[in-house]
Amino acid sequence: MIDFAIYSICVLKDINTKNTSKYNKKLKLTAIYSILMTDDKKTILACFAHPDDEIGCIGTLVNHINKGDRIVLAWTTSGEMASHFNGMDFSEVKKIREEQGKEVGKIIGCESMFLGYGDTSVRATRESALKMAKFIAEIKPDAVITWSMSTRHPDHRGTANILYDAITYARIPKITEPLDPYRPPLHIPIFMYFEEISPLPTIYVDITENFEKVKDVAKMYGDFYGWKQVDEWLEVGRKSNGFKCGVTYAEKFNVLSRYLPIEKYLPISRE
């Protein structure tokens, strides 16, 4: 169920075709329309700062995996600075946390990888964005899921900001070479973890069918770190989202996009 703003509605039939420039505009918009409306398999890049950050979108990822989409789950760091491991060597912590990330990939059935930015070093510099741009050009995602760009932890918002810059840089051949640049007709949408203060539209994703997988992933981390009442906070959080959109369990995101999928009708539901 979706409650995004109707700004995404694009009515193609009203475009005047009498002069050349407007005709070209129609051709371009028609191409965009056909790309967004095709039901082919998509690639989604879910990229966060530290292993366990991804718990907030597991239900959404499993929905897409079950649909046949390619999911790439990536972390900018290996979380080697985590307080839980005080006194332990960085390389040992890195090994443990990377194994946890890979385990998540196995639980939900997707690719997983670590990008090596260094825990507490994730900042939106030119160099960090160039590195991410090459990764984007390699993966060619249709959408990105990440942290909010205004969230508290510097690595979290750094990851989101780097991705935001990299999506544009990935369009530039001199940056992505020897890979081809990645130039989809529209900049790909970024779905960010929900923030109360965000001015961006909110979308809800119904994860009712796959809520058990969310619990499996959280349990893996919870057992290791000794988290308390894991099932309860998952239940309360996802159910609270579900109440707001009329399903049992939901995940919630803010979306940064020029256009969401173009529809002929307004997204109205009275169910």
Q: Which is nearer to Zn ion, 50 or 157 (CB)?
A: 50
Question: Which residue number is nearest to Zn ion in terms of Cβ?
Answer: 50
By the rule CB under 5 A, 134 interacts with Zn ion: no
The minimum distance between CB 32 and Zn ion, in angstroms, equals 35
The minimum distance between CB 156 and Zn ion, in angstroms, equals 6
The Cα–Cα gap between 151 and 10 comes to 31
The minimum distance between CB 71 and Zn ion, in angstroms, equals 19
Asked if 192 contacts 106 with a C-beta cutoff of 8 angstroms, the reply is no
Q: Which is nearer to Zn ion, 58 or 260 (CB)?
A: 58
The Cα–Cα gap between 27 and 32 comes to 9
- Any residues with CB less than 8 A from the CB of 192 and at least 6 apart, and which? 145, 146, 147, 148, 149, 160, 198, 200, 253, 254, 255, 256
By the rule CB under 5 A, 115 interacts with Zn ion: no
Q: Which residue has the tokens 């919630």?
A: 252
The Cα–Cα gap between 110 and 98 comes to 15
Q: Which is nearer to Zn ion, 49 or 188 (CB)?
A: 49
By the rule CB under 5 A, 55 interacts with Zn ion: no
By the rule CB under 5 A, 213 interacts with Zn ion: no
Burial class of residue 172 in the structure, from the number of CB atoms within 10 Å of its CB (0-12 exposed, 13-18 middle, 19+ buried): middle
x/- site string to Zn ion, residues 34 to 53, per CB under 5 A? ---------------xx--x
Q: Where are the alpha helices (DSSP H) in the chain?
A: 20-37, 58-67, 90-108, 126-139, 154-169, 173-176, 211-225, 230-245
Q: Which is nearer to Zn ion, 53 or 142 (CB)?
A: 53
The minimum distance between CB 138 and Zn ion, in angstroms, equals 24
By the rule CB under 5 A, 54 interacts with Zn ion: no
The minimum distance between CB 153 and Zn ion, in angstroms, equals 6
Q: How many residues bind Zn ion (CB under 5 A)?
A: 3
By the rule CB under 5 A, 97 interacts with Zn ion: no
Query: Of 146, 172, 170, which Cα lies nearest the Cα of 160?
Result: 146
Binding site for Zn ion (CB under 5 A): 49-50, 53
